[in-house]
Every structure is written in C-alpha cells, then in structure tokens.
Amino acid sequence: MACCFGQGIRQLVADGAPPENIFGCDLRKEYVELGYQLFRDHGRLHGQLLTADIFEKIVSACRPARYLRCCCISWILLSPV
C-alpha cells in the first residue's frame, strides 16, 4: 500500500522474492509511472504495480483474497515498532 515509486517492491525483487507474487498499490498513477522512469525497468519489473484507492469498496471487492493478506502482512511486518 502506498508504494509511491515502488522502491520497496523493487528491493523485494532484487532480494530474491518471486516477482509474480509481488503487488504494490498507490493512489496516484503518476508515482508509479515516475518509478518506471526513475528505475528504467518498465519491461523488466514483473511485479504488479496497481493504481487504486484501496479503501474504495468496489475496488476492494475485486481484489483476490491473497492480495489482501499480503498487504496486511506487509503492513504489520514493515511498520515501525
């Protein structure tokens, strides 16, 4: 959630996480596109960077349950204590 330029997503892939299991989401498409320009990996990054409002009911209903679990787990693990 709120992946902005996607540097965290890219770091997970660089560290060996399977890119097909990686999802990132940001409210603004401009940030995702700027991330692709910044890292010059539009054709190489195989993780999925989505643009959506994660709190919108319609969007949330369309997401696979696996995605929601990953977001929650990532938020818990990455949150400062």
Q: What confidence tens digit (pLDDT) does each residue in 14-57 have?
A: 899 888 888 888 889 999 899 989 999 888 877 688 888 877 76
The Cα–Cα gap between 44 and 38 comes to: 13
56 or 12, which is more confident: 12
The reply to whether 71 falls in a domain is yes
Structure tokens at 23: 């999802």
pTM across the whole model:
0.60
Cβ(49)–Cβ(6) below 8 Å = yes
- Domain span including residue 40: 7-78
Query: What gap in Å lies between CA 12 and CA 3, rounded to an integer?
Result: 12
Indicate the number of domains in the chain: 1
In a domain, 2, yes or no: no
